[in-house]
Amino acid sequence: MKALELENWLNSYLKVNEFRDYCPNGIQVEGKDEIRRIVTGVSASAKLLEYAARTGADAVLVHHGIFWKGDPQAIRTFRRKRIEILIKNDLNLFAYHLPLDAHPEIGNNVLLAQTLGIEIDGACDEGEKHPLVLRGHLAQPCRLSDFIALIDHKLDRKSFYIGDGGAIIDRIAWCTGAAHDNIELAARCGAGLYISGEIAERTVHEAEELGIAYVAAGHHCTEIFGIRKLGHVLADRFGLDVEFVNMPNSI
């Protein structure tokens, strides 16, 4: 499959043009023209790129690419190393950020809900064309401590939480990744618990003052789902050799 053909298909499938993102979605670094093998992962770390090169990949497809708005324009230190690996090995780097969080079928938010058994009711930011903060409920209300144990089991990590472990929870709002600043929106839409990936120092005070429980379930762990599923879609649709590689990340 041609690299530009794949990019055009991905851009259309993920509706890239309908998002205001703070990074370029699509090909971030151009490599060889023909793509047969793809390595997917959450972030374009040097370790992931080196693995892709070592195993004969033609492209790397990630959720977190190399370039972000506000970054220095000079290509130095770790950025230089990553780009050097890509160019030296003629690897394409594809990255899709918000479009992969919000996709209604393979998005991180939808797949996290499925993983945790949350039934989706709608969105807290329902005025947005592609909402990022979803809301839903549990089929059976449970204690916060029991639900946190489920999260830790499903995501294979130890979550950080704020709230009374014995409190009964039912209505939940969530947004994967670094989305702690949506906690007020979650409280306004009636959620008793808000889940995101990362936490800030201020989130502790905000959760207590808003009267809402909060779980930081891990930025990396909450965003494994979309990129892995997207790889399955590409393998099934185009017959490409796609391998998901989960590079451990404690955040």
pLDDT tens figures, 138-152: 999 999 999 999 999
- Burial (CB < 10 A; 0-12, 13-18, 19+), residue 251, is exposed
What one-character-per-residue DSSP string does the chain give? -BHHHHHHHHHHHTTGGG---SS--EEEE---SB--EEEEEEE--HHHHHHHHHTT-SEEEEEE-S--TTS-SS--HHHHHHHHHHHHTT-EEEE--HHHHH-TTT-HHHHHHHHHTEEEEEETTTTSSS--SEEEEEEEEEEHHHHHHHHHHHHTS--EEES-TTSEEEEEEE--SS-GGGHHHHHHTT-SEEEES---HHHHHHHHHHT-EEEE--HHHHTHHHHHHHHHHHHHHH--EEEE-------
Separation between Cα atoms, residue 170 and residue 212, nearest integer Å:
12
> Does pLDDT of 248 surpass 90?
no
Residue 147 confidence (pLDDT): 98
> Does pLDDT of 22 surpass 90?
yes
pLDDT tens figures, 185-196: 999 999 999 999
What proportion of the chain, given as a percentage, has pLDDT over 90?
98
Residue 189 confidence (pLDDT): 96
Residue 218 confidence (pLDDT): 97
Residue listed under structure tokens 């969530």: 174
For all residues of the chain together, what is the average pLDDT?
97
pLDDT tens figures, 32-67: 999 999 999 999 999 999 999 999 999 999 999 999
pLDDT tens figures, 168-190: 999 999 999 999 999 999 999 99
pLDDT tens figures, 199-217: 999 999 999 999 999 999 9
